[in-house]
Amino acid sequence: MIKYIAYCRKSTDEPDRQILSIEAQVAELEEFAAKENLKIVLFITESKTAKEPGREKFAQVLEMIEKGEASGIISWHPDRLARNSVDGGKIIYLLDTGKLLDLKFPSFWFENTPQGKFMLSIAFGQSKYYVDNLSENVKRGNRQKLRRGEWPNQAPFGYLNINKKIEVDKKRARFVKKAFQLYSTGAYGYADIRKFFTQNKIFNKSGHKLHLDKIKKILTDPFYYGLMKFCGELYEGSHLPLISKKLFDKCQEIVKLKSRKVKNNKHLFNFLGMIKCGECGSMITAEKHTKIYKRTNRRVEYVYYRCSKKKGKCLQRYISKEEIEEQIRNILLQASLTQFAAKKFLEWAEKDIAKEKQQSSSVTLDYKDQIKDTDEKLERLLDGYLDKVISPEDYQKKKNELVDTKSVINSKIKDISTNGVEWLEPFQEFVNNALQCGKIARAKNTNEELAFFAKTVGSNFSLLNRRLSADFKKAGFAVLSESFPAEGLGPRRFNYSSLLSDLDSNQDYQIQSLDAYH
């Protein structure tokens, strides 16, 4: 009596979605074996695609047939055994050599005759054709989706898949946008951006911190400014962009500069990597000392910052963590605005926007003409590619350039239609940062938060004779600091009326003089 091995398989890929579950296949085969009086010596089940060779359980079945432990196989259908030419060929070869005597299927007729093996090979070929054809259909469908501006895969971080559309994730989107803004300053690395997400309780779907590779993928994905990159080719997306092309390009420059990996120990000392010695120009390093008080058996740790002296002899002395923290708070206070002042500035900006929008119509028409010209170039490029005048490589390269150019123009049109002027977004960012400066400096923040925000508004931090100084990244912060009283004593004066009348919307915004109390 022939001994049979029952093989049941189901994968999660597209072709098998309508196939019976493994449990259902087992039940069907048991019933079929009882009806046909077949002896099953072993049930082997597997959850893996058969599109490619390499299934461990299927290899086990063939090995048992080779060893003579069984001489027949029972399965639901031939496509459960093979969907590729290699595995199908192995089955037929075992039949030819006589090691495999019989195959039984509840849904397919087979006899171990030349005609039976011919029909079996046709069934295997049909299974392979179905998979190959399905793959081509999926690729064709993806290309059509991309041409319509639809992303065919899982939505990137900051977006959601809702009703087969890509929608903005309201919880994460604003933090993704802020991550791009922070990274574009050059003062933050991937670890800093991950720390920013973690501080704001933004995690991946599993609830864990974002991996550094994920941070890099986010910061280098053109999807966030409106384009989709699929198999090396750019397509225009219909989704809502989170950032501008200008901000994205600025981040890519920083990515290139920071491509060299360095050891990150900033989690130990929060102010490392941001301050230089004012005497010799070496970077400021830090060290931790532990002191044990014998009378109380108390163990206390102290952190000190000092010049690393890597450039030679230096006479600068150490400074405690508490001293440097207090001076950073003072720098943030110098660059701060009150809630009242920030509200006044933003109200004025909104009024000026309406006037600017009326003057922007001619600029918008010019941009639309440029888009029309770009579309015509894309059509001519496609005609050349279809006529085989242009190679696939040259077509893809030139197409990416034209799509990128069109994206830049569309971004400018959007800025004009929503903001009216290019200065609004950076001006709002300046006001909000100045407002945050005061809040962070006065709150009981950790050193980590102080350092993080200090790098947002300042640069070129220098320590000389235990005094910390810095340059402000925007002229507005520098002007704000000029009104800050010596040693932080006395009132701070601001001239709002002079500020609002002197500011020209077509020039850089600088705070000049203030006569109202801040």
Confirm if 2 and 71 have CB atoms less than 8 A apart: yes
Tell me the two tokens of residue 176.
């993704």
Confirm if 447 and 321 have CB atoms less than 8 A apart: yes
Confirm if 335 and 434 have CB atoms less than 8 A apart: yes
Average pLDDT on 235-253 reads 89
Tell me the pLDDT band of 75, cut-offs 50, 70 and 90: very high
Tell me the two tokens of residue 222.
């053109």
Give the list of residues 6+ apart from residue 409 with CB closer than 8 angstroms, or none: 367, 370, 371, 374
In this predicted model, what pLDDT tens digit does every residue of 174-203 receive, in sequence order? 999 999 988 887 778 888 899 999 988 999
Q: Give me the phi and psi of 71, to 5 degrees please.
A: -130, 15
Q: What percent of the chain has pLDDT over 70?
A: 84
What pLDDT score does 497 carry?
A: 46
Average pLDDT on 171-175 reads 92
What pLDDT score does 493 carry?
A: 55
What pLDDT score does 407 carry?
A: 85
| Top-confidence residue, 130 or 2 | 2
Which of 258-267, 268-277, 326-335, 454-463 bottoms out in mean pLDDT, i.e. has the lowest? 258-267
Tell me the pLDDT band of 363, cut-offs 50, 70 and 90: confident
CA distance 393 to 382: 13
Q: What is the 3-state secondary structure (H, E, C) of 62-94?
A: HHHHHHCCCCEEECCCHHHHCCCHHHHHHHHHH
Q: What's the CA angle centered on 410, arms 401 and 226, to 5 degrees? A: 70
- Give start and end residues of each alpha helix (H) in 387-468: 392-418, 424-442, 447-457
| Top-confidence residue, 517 or 134 | 134
Average pLDDT on 317-329 reads 90
Q: With a cut of 50, say whether residue 507 has pLDDT above it.
A: no
In this predicted model, what pLDDT tens digit does every residue of 265-310 receive, in sequence order? 444 688 888 899 999 999 999 998 888 888 888 888 888 999 999 9
CA distance 51 to 74: 20
Average pLDDT on 216-240 reads 90
What pLDDT score does 334 carry?
A: 86
What pLDDT score does 156 carry?
A: 93
Tell me the pLDDT band of 70, cut-offs 50, 70 and 90: very high
Average pLDDT on 64-90 reads 92
Q: What percent of the chain has pLDDT over 90?
A: 31
Which of 57, 63, 42 has the alpha carbon at shortest distance from 11? 57
What pLDDT score does 96 carry?
A: 92
Which of 52-56, 260-264, 354-358 bottoms out in mean pLDDT, i.e. has the lowest? 260-264
Q: For residue 320, what are the β-bridge partners?
A: 304
Confirm if 400 and 230 have CB atoms less than 8 A apart: no
Q: What is the mean pLDDT of the chain?
A: 82
Q: With a cut of 90, say whether residue 159 has pLDDT above it.
A: yes
What pLDDT score does 17 carry?
A: 52
Which of 218-227, 334-343, 502-511 bottoms out in mean pLDDT, i.e. has the lowest? 502-511
Q: For residue 130, what are the β-bridge partners?
A: none
Tell me the pLDDT band of 43, cut-offs 50, 70 and 90: very high
Which of 47-56, 81-90, 212-221, 427-436 bottoms out in mean pLDDT, i.e. has the lowest? 427-436
CA distance 411 to 364: 11
